[in-house]
Structure 1
Amino acid sequence: MRQRNSIVYRLTIFAIIIIVIQSLFLIAVLVNGGVLRQAKLNAYESFSDKVQGRKAYLELEMKNRWTNVDPFLSQISKKLSKTYETDTLLLDSLSSELIEMLRTTKATGAFILLTDDINDNNVPGLYFRDYDPLSDNLSFKDLYVVVGPSEIAKKLKVPLDQMWSYDLRLTSDNHDFIKKPLNLANLSNDPKLLGYWSKPFKLSDTDLQIMTYSMPIFDSENNLKGIVGIEVTLNHMIKMLPATDLKLKDSLGYILTHKPTNDSKPIPSVIVSALQKRYLVENEPLNLLIENEDFGIYKLLNHTGSYDIYASVEELKLYQPNTPFEGESWYLVGFMRGDELFSYVYRTQSILWGAFIIALIVGIFGGVYFSYRFSKPIVDLSKKVRESNKNEIMIVEPTGLLEVDELAQAMQEANNERLESVSRLTRVISLFDLPIAAFEIKNNSDDIFVTEKLYTILDLDDKNKTNFMNKLNELLNNPEENEEGVYKINLEYPRWVKLKMTDSSDTTIGVIQDITEEMKEKLQIRMDRDIDPLTRLLNRRAFQSYMEQLLFKNPLKSSALVMFDLDNLKNMNDTYGHKWGDFYIKEAVQRLNNITQRNKMLLGRRSGDEFVLLLYGFTSKQEIEDCMNEFFSYIKGNTIKLPDGKDYSIGISAGLAWIDSWPTDYEDLLNKADEALYISKFNNKGNWTKL
């Protein structure tokens, strides 16, 4: 009892408590400041970005390359309208279109099957296959005939495939790619609206696994004649899904899943690796539990592995809205093990707790040691402590009194150890190799506490509180748009920081993290997502988003939406080549960009030769009409020089729809402008029409 009432004992306990509280305080600042939470979100975002990038590439291949059969449908329809003595002669006449379609789409197969009866079991047709579509072979040496008359193969000098058959024999396993489009052929005469992506199947028991995109084909008089389409072997599809996207070694990789209806669970359809086959339950839909809705991250519940597996799920938009197969959905799913996804988070946690334990042990022993050497009269010591700067080393002069000198010395060393523990934790933070700094502001003091990296992050020269507060207020007045807690530092080269602060009655503490590289990557991704690469204009989706933001932020006044269509672009491509076609588009865009002041217009590219323009903030509709008239007068009198030396006027037709109120339905506005454009194209080509 007597020992507990001694100065040495009480100061020892006091020093230990100070060290523990200080250590817990700095750990809490890091944790509550969102370091671990942000690290986890960064892991989700990185995972999601990789899967989104692969999804964008695969969707581009499936929608814009493999299914690019439109240029050949009209030629096939014309030949189907002619009369031939035999199906063989008809198929022979179609062989050139099929081969050209196969080369253009870079698919592994192209076919046409002649039947209008869903009950046929043996269907005549012509089916070419190229096992290596990415090789640029101009001959027919890399082609094989899978289905079709051998006479055609002999004539074209194309070998027969090992699975060759004269007609295609339909079974319950392979008939969907024919029967599903045929069943719905009466809904429309436009084959593109009836296109169908099949689940993986085999044409025969010995064939490869394939997926097909098939659609009904009609003759020129809209009589149903059969099915036309392309094939992609699963071997080729798997090449589009490299597991190294997600991890260089032992990656769980990607799979493709299929949902027959909107209410069903995704069913694995394309499994890429043997590793996936081991942990996925065969023939069972994926059972997914949402983990992060913002980034589309799920936890896979039904798997055979002994570890957590996370999935990033992205839908492939393969069908147009309001088409028969819109309800069947395809998804790209990327998988990662939990310990690999959160490896950085777990490492950060271990370092934090290790640092805390080390600081605690060192603090305890240091507190005990220095408390025994603390000695100074209590009154002088109290005054010294009260008047001293808490962030500076305390120096106590010895009095010659053993007990008091020991007490004073212990207090001095305890205070120094507190500062040293703060310094140690600051150094521990630097070991993370993260640009993170912490600060503490006392409202009733001119002193501030900051960790070393704060000077580098905020470009400060000293600990002056006034300069620091000015810098902090400047930072808070410059938030980054659409980013919570992120602020921009306007130096010669812009940088971004994330700031978290918490206030008490007389103290403000905060954590600042330099996220410049992360923001640069995010801004670059946004630019790549929103900008058309050829014209550097906003693409279709980005234009709509920017337009809606502009009209919500600015007074409507007199505004209009204008659709433009380049005349004679196809003729330019056919005559001078696509290089000059691109030149033609760029020249047109250059003129469209000068239609009026930049702060009164927003220009975007909708498709190959279609552009959309928002004119806003005008004082009257007449001013907009004058602007349009001046533009069309200008382009008619302005020419470009073609490769053959001819001067050529750029031809543009336009349709204008007035925006009488906002908000309103964007698609309705677009349809009105498109309707006006249609009138211009067919009644007043090279001019503009308003609705």
Structure 2
Amino acid sequence: MKQNKKTHSMMRKMMIPMLFVLLLQALLFVGTIIFGGTVDQLNRNAFDILNERVINRKNYIENEMHRWTSISGTVQKINSQAEELVARSGITVAELSANSPVTAELLDLVSQDLIDLLEKQSITGSFVVLNGQDDPKQTFDVVKAGVYLRDMNPISNPEDNSDLLIERASSVITKKLGIPMDTGWSPQFHFTEDFPAESYDYYYKPFRAAFEYPEISYSDLCYWSRPFQLSTDDISIITYSVPLISNGVPYGVFGIELSVDYLKSMLPYDEIASDKAGSYLLTVTDADAMEFENLLSSGPVFRQLYGDEGNLRIQKRNIYGDSFLLQPSARASGDLYGCVQYFKLYNSNTPFEDDRWGIIGMVKGDKLLGFSAKVEMIVVVSLAVSLVAGLLIVLVISRIVTKPITQLARKVKNSNPNLPVKLDKTRIAEIDQLAKAVESLSDSVAESASKLSKIIEMTSTAIGAFELNKKEGNTFYTEHLFEIFGLQDDYSTHGMMDNEAFLKKLEQTRRFLDEANERDRVWLYQVSRQQGSPSWARLRVVVESDRIIGVAEDVTQQIIEKKKIEYERDYDLLTNLLNRRAFYTLLVELFSQPEQLKIGAMMMFDLDNLKHINDTYGHDYGDQYIRCAAAILRKNTPANAVVSRMSGDEFYIFLYGCEEKEQILDTVEQIKQGLAETIFPLPGDATFRVRASAGIAWYPDDADSYEQLIRYADFAMYTVKHTVKGQVMQFSIEEYQRDSYLLHNKEELNKLIDERLIEYHFQPIVDASTGEVFAYEALMRSKVDAFKSPLEILTLARSQSKLYEIERLTWFCSMEAFVAQKQILPDVRIFINSIANQNLSRQDFAEFEQLYRPHLNRIVVELTEEEKPNSAFSSQKQECIRLWQASLALDDFGTGYNGEAMLLCLTPQFVKIDMSIVRNVDTDRNRQKILQNLLSYTKERRIKVIAEGVENRGEMETLIHTGVDYLQGYYVGMPQKTASLVNPEVVAQIQAINRKKKSPTAHRSYPKS
């Protein structure tokens, strides 16, 4: 019985190798494109561009918001005007009713401040609303006085205020200002139920927060409102408002307005995506950040998809970076992507910190990822077309073959599937015809495979690939592979070469190596081509056991875009100098190699008169002034200088690599000469000299780190700015050690005042005749480590105009600590150090009286000699002393401002002899003579004398014999947190000295000087 052997048709035998070749080449191209990361990279690039554009727009809007809300000066001015008016009229700020003449006068003063703010801040409106005597908890049916001005064209500021409108103001103010009234004008603010309560949040939220959080500064009670309308036909607006607070009492709200249309003009949606297929949204969300409340939007896409329904929800977080997938809309037919960036509007631990304002850039998925989808579609279609075409060709040619030819089949089987098949002539017509058909088939398959390269070329993406076969020892490469690397175009078509020749050819690209990622097997090459313009190519390699696959692509456009973004990231757009980030990055790099620095200098320049130019001629001329100064610095600095614009009017220059300081000083002189010779033109043929103040810190003499050099240069600049403006000063370590706290401890002083970080120690004042405690002096001690003495606190407070806050702390905190001392006898007095030229407000005095009424007659107000007395302040203190039956003491008598003239002016009950006279009085005749003269002067006027600074028994004995009334010093008693009695041994010494003094045989002799 014959065994049936399995046989195959000739068609099948010919189709298998041909289809294998076709599939191999097709999968090579498709795999390298789709699975090689090309599509993913295109998608990531799309998201990167979206994120970058939204970040840039967020930074711009956030900077504008901080500029719009720089209103602290106006707030302080309004508070000062209000306090002055109510003090003059004898009422409180809470009594500023809607129809009060004092209210009308205040609003008249405030209206000009609002006009100035409109011109300065480039906003569409500003307003002041006064609460009067209304209940803060009542929302509706109230009428409040105020002023509301609007500028519909904030970019233009004509001198006649012709672009302004009055929304709310009395008719008197309207006539006086000469500004037209808007169609919705009203003389007062009417809060009625015709509008929802949210329409009045701009007033009630910051105002009520001021009552709920009295310990928080007004600047942390600020509130950004949602869009609303003042009246039915009014435009939509967003406001920023803060409470007006006088001496702890809220009495109104001050704020600015930004129209929704004005904000929309700052959200150019056409930059998000091509064909205007994107939208910008200004939103508010909570900490969960899954749903966003839409405040306003620009661009038609959002309105088309969501209409007026408003809010957005996130479907999936973190698609890539800060981008996410939006909850689909009923009107949307595809995916919607958004990128959110948040503004920093509120500080932590403030009433409205849960409102997270942000900006969302929204794009349709088909627009954002359209290019990568197009590439995928082309690749898939190309694969299908190639497979179908190849299959048809194989079928047609295979049907021609009628006879099995073993020899021909063996040769075809043993041929290289990656190369066209070539068969020898047999001179047999049928076989030669078959061989010719096989060769034609092979060529057709190769041609079909090459179509993928042509289709990819049609996508405008230059891509080349290769497969290196380790077993067979040859490499297949596609068209344009070597062209992408800038090599000669001898290999412009796809083909095959042995591995050694291919690697040798590819090795020529090594000289163009720009950067590499060896771990991920990705290399970036800077290619030199005949056109001369730089180009870049990226090569990705996948290594397997028996082969190596590589894909190369032309990434020139991506690199150009990246370098453009890096330039905009690192350079200041106004001056083309390095910005803060790039400056610090370069310094880190330089200081990592200190051997190249040699002698260097950090210079900080601060432009003078920029505020004057901005206020007088506008910010456009201010920007030109900054550019002019930047050009001078750039022109007059050598190549080994790092020049940067750090902020509005501050420039840093770091010079390095010099052999001696004279080289740097020559550069400084050249810069000064350049500034002095430059004339800045202004409107009306006016001219202006460019001026700047500068500080210099030397490397390595002053410091060997750039952080310390910047700190020292900043201090030197601060010193010259507040002394000889317009000069250049070198850093002095002695001055820094003495005065640096003035520059660096501003926030520490605010913290000390706001959190009352002081305590008081009590030093006894002893009766010189009995040794008993007559009084205690309350001595301030700081809980902030930055301040070593009360003198530093007073010096810094004086430089920051905050002596009043220190004066108030002194009165209330010292008296609070004194009353808490339970062991003090009821008749013992308390000496409170008061700043001579500062005084509490009437409200402060009233509060102080209410708290400490039983102890008022025990107070001795001690005027220090640190400040020259103010007669108006002193008279108010004297009036309170008279009403309280308290006393007045003059500190440091005989020195500074405190002398005989002050005795005549103030007529105190006590004077303190300065310790400079008390020191060594027992051995110095001159001091004894001065003391006797002072005592003679005070005894005639029945003024009690206190000697302070007593440090030994000899001084104490001399003072008692001379006739002082009271003693104070370390020898008598140390300052302590808990008031203590005098050491019994010292009491016994005082009593013994007095007994000896009264003895008729007692004789006191003083040593000769």
**70 and 233 in structure 1: CA distance in 2 versus 1, 3 angstrom threshold:** same
Q: In 2, are the aligned partners of 1:635 and 1:649 still within 8 Å (CA)? A: no
Check 1:541–1:635 CA distance in 2 against 1; reply closer, same or farther (3 A cut). Answer: closer
Alignment CA distance shift 1:269-1:663 (3 Å):
farther
Which moved further from structure 2: 125-134 or 247-256?
Answer: 247-256
1:45 aligns with 2:87: no
Query: How far did residue 217 of structure 1 move?
Result: 5.1
Aligned counterpart, 1:566: 607
Give 1:525's aligned amino acid.
I
Structure 1 residues 455, 275: closer, same or farther in 2, change over 3 A? closer
CA contact (8 A) 1:655 1:675 kept: no
Matched, 1:689 2:699: no
Q: Partner residue of 1:329?
A: 356
Distance, in Å, in 2 between the alignment partners of 1:395 and 1:187 is 94
Equivalent of residue 460 in structure 1, options 464, 470, 488: 488
Query: Do the aligned partners of residues 206 and 595 (structure 1) sit closer, same or farther apart at CA in structure 2, a change above 3 Å counting?
Result: closer
| Match 2:188 to one of 143, 167, 170 | 167
User: Residue 99 of structure 1 corresponds to which residue in structure 2?
Assistant: 115
Counterparts of 1:301 and 1:211, CA distance in 2: 27
Q: CA contact under 8 A between 1:141 and 1:158: conserved in structure 2? A: yes
Shift of 1:429: 0.9
Deviation of 1:181 after TM superposition, in Å, equals: 3.9
Aligned pair 1:416/2:432, yes or no?
no
Structure-1 residue corresponding to 2:695 = 654
Which of 549, 555, 558 is the aligned partner of 1:518?
A: 558
Which residue of structure 2 aligns with residue 488 of structure 1?
526
The answer to which of 643-652 and 260-269 deviates more is 643-652
Of 517, 524, 530, 2:570 maps to 530
- Output the amino acid matched with 2:202: F
Distance 2:108 2:268 in 1: 39
SS in 1 for 2:539: strand
Q: 1:178 aligns with which of 193, 197, 203?
A: 203
* 1:327/1:378 CA distance change after superposition, 3 Å: same
1:104-123 paired onto structure 2 within 5 Å = 104-115=120-131, 119-120=135-136, 122-123=143-144
1:427-456 deviation per Cα after TM superposition (whole angstroms, max 9, x unaligned): 111121222222344567576523136425
SS in 2 for 1:286: strand
CA distance in structure 2 between the partners assigned to 1:24 and 1:661 by the alignment:
67
In the aligned structure 2, how far is the partner of 1:649 from the partner of 1:209? 43
* Larger Rg, first or second structure (1 or 2): 2
- Answer yes or no: is 1:147 the counterpart of 2:168: yes
Cα offset for 1:199?
A: 2.3
Superposition deviation, residue 311 in structure 1: 1.0
Cα 1:579/1:235, change in 2 over 3 Å? closer
- Identical pairs, percent: 29
Relative to structure 1, the CA distance from residue 553 to residue 427 in structure 2 (aligned partners, 3 Å threshold; closer, same or farther) is farther
User: 2:508 is matched with which residue: 468, 471, 485?
Assistant: 471
Q: Match of 1:146, as an amino acid?
A: E
Structure 1 CA distance, aligned partners of 2:417 and 2:512?
28
CA contact under 8 A between 2:693 and 2:717: conserved in structure 1?
A: no
Name the CA shift for 1:322/1:651 in 2 (closer, same or farther; >3 Å): farther
Query: Aligned-pair distance for 1:524?
Result: 1.5
**Helix, strand or coil for the counterpart of 1:458?**
coil
Native 8 Å contact 1:4 1:10 kept in 2: no
Amino acid in structure 1 at the alignment position of 2:48: E
Match 1:450 to one of 478, 487, 498 = 478
Q: Distance in 2 between matches of 1:200 and 1:175?
A: 11
1:41-440 aligned within 5 A: 41-64=44-67, 66-67=68-69, 69=71, 76=78, 79-80=81-82, 82-83=84-85, 86-115=102-131, 119-120=135-136, 122-134=143-155, 139-170=160-191, 172-182=197-207, 183-184=209-210, 195-204=222-231, 207-216=234-243, 226-247=252-273, 251=277, 253-261=279-287, 266-271=292-297, 276=302, 279=306, 282=309, 286-294=313-321, 296-301=322-327, 303-304=329-330, 305-318=332-345, 328-371=355-398, 393-401=420-428, 405=432, 408-409=435-436, 411-440=438-467
Distance 1:203 1:657, change over 3 A: farther
Q: 1:383 to 1:116 in 2, by over 3 A?
A: farther
Unaligned runs of 5+ in 1: none
Tell me the residue number matched to 2:760.
Answer: none
- Distance between the aligned counterparts of 1:138 and 1:90, measured in 2? 24
- Contact between 1:268 and 1:286, CA under 8 Å: does it hold in 2? no
CA distance in 1, matches of 2:667, 2:224: 45
Q: CA deviation at 1:179?
A: 4.2
Map Cα deviations across residues 60-109 of structure 1 (whole Å, 9 max, x no partner). Answer: 44333x44546755665665465385322332233233223224433221
Shift in Å, 1:297: 1.0
> Structure 1: which amino acid aligns with 2:201?
D
For residues 154 and 25 of structure 2, what CA distance do their matches in structure 1 show? 66
Q: How far did residue 364 of structure 1 move?
A: 1.3
CA–CA distance in structure 2, aligned partners of residues 557 and 479 of structure 1: 30
Q: Give the Cα–Cα distance (whole angstroms) in 2 for the partners of residues 58 and 372 of structure 1.
A: 72
In 2, Cα distance between the equivalents of 1:226 and 1:659? 55
**Whole-Å separation in 1 of the counterparts to 2:700 and 2:230:** 54
Q: Does structure 2 retain, via aligned residues, the 8 Å contact 1:118–1:179?
A: no
Moved more, 248-257 or 303-312: 248-257
Deviates more, 1:70-79 or 1:348-357: 70-79
What is the TM-score with the length of structure 1 in the denominator?
Answer: 0.82
| Residue type of the alignment partner of 2:170 | P
Compared CA separation, residues 564 and 376, structure 1 to 2 (3 A): farther
Distance 1:546 1:345 in 2: 37
Contact in 1 for aligned 2:606/2:651 (Cα 8 Å): yes
Q: 1:264 to 1:8 in 2, by over 3 A?
A: closer
Task: Tell me, in whole angstroms, the C-alpha distance in 1 between the residues paired with 2:714 and 2:264.
Answer: 40
Tell me the distance in 1 between the aligned counterparts of 2:389 and 2:206: 75
- Please say if residues 376 and 409 of structure 1, whose CA atoms lie closer than 8 Å, have aligned partners that are also in contact: no
Task: Tell whether the 8 Å contact from 2:540 to 2:552 is kept in structure 1 after alignment.
Answer: yes
| Alpha-carbon distance between aligned partners in 2 of 1:595 and 1:119, rounded to the nearest angstrom | 64
Q: Is 1:539 aligned with 2:576? A: no
2:486 corresponds to which letter in structure 1?
L
User: 1:635 touches 1:650 (CA, 8 Å); kept in 2?
Assistant: no
Q: Secondary structure at the match of 2:198?
A: coil
